[in-house]
Amino acid sequence: MAIQKSASASATGPRLPLAGLRVVDLTSAVVGPYCTQVLADYGAEVIKVEEKSGDVIRWISGKSRTPGMSGKFMHMNRNKRSISLDLKQASGREALMQLVDTADVFLHNMRTAAAERLGLGSEQLTQRCPRLVYCGIVGFGSGGRYAGRPAYDSILQGGTALASLMSGADGAPRYVPYVVIDRTAGLMVAHAILAALFARERDGEGRTIEVPMFESYAGLLLSEHLYGHSFEPPTGPLGDRRLLDANARPVRTRDGYVCITTNTDAQVHKLFHALGRADLAADARFATALARIEHIAAFFALRAELLASRDTAELVDLLLAHDIPCMPCHTLDSLVADPHLQDVGLLETGSHPTQGQIRHIRPAMQMSGFEPSVRLPAPHIGEHTAAILSELGYTPAQIEALFSDGAAYTAPDAPPHPPQPT
């Protein structure tokens, strides 16, 4: 697919799809910042509002070169500015209100009662700003008995049954080895905000959104595994056997593992042919998709037997030559060195003003007229506090007063951003 990078806008630079939108982001950790990473990459102006202590991901995601600048934090917070305000002080809250008045989108992941205590509840803000798209990310929806409980990704991996589906031979539950629910919910928040912005463009009205992580993700997982219980009375058990079978895993080869999936009858027959066992296509247990589901254990056992005596590289070449979906298993080390990822430049080295050489992860998606890029380095805590207050019309003396009261803050090692004349 040939995608024009800058279409008709070559003279003025690429048109970012969300250019001109301002997002005031009170979220921290992963679910909210990942959502606003998406919005920022699309060109929205995201202003991250942090406490003096900063987003927790600054601190719990490995060693940084200077305090509070972990790699994971920088990946999720590039293209954002940071203002640090003490919302326990009236003058800090007032500055935030001035900022919200300029916003198209406001989002937070506080508990609802905490947001309301700070004057940041949905009714409070949308009465003040009727065009605002207001979004609260909560662990559990306001309509159910767990409303208000704290939640983290790992809590929800247990609570949505994902950890129990991950149990191995020992029956002990496990977590998926990354914060999959935070990431999934973050993407759901992004589409909710984008749908609301689209609708506002047509009718001029703001929207209030609540994304409850527990039931949002439970709905996704149940759509995979409700299975026979999608019917009343059920037509079969809970749980998609094709995904949960102990042999639904990469297949052992002579020297490693290969991933291979054959969903269609044609693919299965090509597989038998490629492995020199075209005769198996006549076996009624394997001839059709429905039959293979009935005989899934026998099918997986046969596949394991057929692949065990071959080398991975040879198998991948052979199967790809027959257009059968397959790939060797990467480790993190080999993934970083993958030649396709190098071709597309997924990882690119750039210079951060205070962190030196760092590796950016580019958005992989391509859109005509839009060149995703790192326009702004990830900020230090409150790096842009003075600059943003100045833009809001605060005088140098007023800004100085906020700083001396502790209602505004900038980390001492942040590079300076002289306020713009107003």
Report d(CA 154, CA 176) in Å as an integer: 9
Residue whose CB is less far from its own copies, 119 or 363: 363
Residue 380 in the binding site for its own copies (CB under 8 A): no
Residue 333 in the binding site for its own copies (CB under 8 A): yes
Residue 415 in the binding site for its own copies (CB under 8 A): no
Residue whose CB is less far from its own copies, 81 or 108: 108
Residue 353 in the binding site for its own copies (CB under 8 A): no
Residue 304 in the binding site for its own copies (CB under 8 A): no
Strands 105-108 and 133-138: parallel
Residue 79 in the binding site for its own copies (CB under 8 A): no
62, 122, 118, 126: which is closest to 90 by C-alpha?
118
Residue 106 in the binding site for its own copies (CB under 8 A): no
Residue whose CB is less far from its own copies, 65 or 254: 65
How many other CB atoms sit within 10 Å of the CB of residue 129?
A: 18
Report d(CA 164, CA 244) in Å as an integer: 11
**Cα-based distances in Å from 388 to 20, 24, 82, 382, 420:** 16, 12, 9, 10, 9
Q: Work out which of 196, 271, 402, 414 binds its own copies, going by CB under 8 A.
A: 196
Residue whose CB is less far from its own copies, 102 or 154: 154
Whether residue 82 contacts residue 50, with contact meaning beta carbons closer than 8 Å, is answered with: yes
Residue 411 in the binding site for its own copies (CB under 8 A): no
Whether residue 106 contacts residue 125, with contact meaning beta carbons closer than 8 Å, is answered with: yes
Residue whose CB is less far from its own copies, 138 or 275: 138
Residue whose CB is less far from its own copies, 279 or 343: 343
Q: Work out which of 87, 96, 129, 138 binds its own copies, going by CB under 8 A.
A: 138
**Cα-based distances in Å from 174 to 78, 161, 243, 289:** 31, 10, 17, 31
Whether residue 176 contacts residue 166, with contact meaning beta carbons closer than 8 Å, is answered with: yes
Report d(CA 293, CA 285) in Å as an integer: 9
Whether residue 319 contacts residue 260, with contact meaning beta carbons closer than 8 Å, is answered with: yes
Residue 225 in the binding site for its own copies (CB under 8 A): yes
Using only the alpha carbons of the chain, give its radius of gyration. 26
Residue 290 in the binding site for its own copies (CB under 8 A): yes
Q: Work out which of 97, 118, 218, 401 binds its own copies, going by CB under 8 A.
A: 218
3-state secondary structure of 101: coil
**Cα-based distances in Å from 316 to 74, 247, 313:** 36, 19, 5
Q: Work out which of 11, 12, 198, 404 binds its own copies, going by CB under 8 A.
A: 198
Residue 376 in the binding site for its own copies (CB under 8 A): no
Residue 177 in the binding site for its own copies (CB under 8 A): yes
Residue 392 in the binding site for its own copies (CB under 8 A): no
Taking CB under 8 A as the criterion, which residues in 231-270 touch its own copies? 231-233, 235-236, 238-244, 248-250, 252, 257-261, 263-264
Dihedral over Cα of 201, 26, 214, 148: its sign: negative
Residue 221 in the binding site for its own copies (CB under 8 A): yes
Q: Work out which of 281, 287, 291, 329 binds its own copies, going by CB under 8 A.
A: 329
Q: Work out which of 11, 12, 150, 276 binds its own copies, going by CB under 8 A.
A: 150
Residue 163 in the binding site for its own copies (CB under 8 A): yes
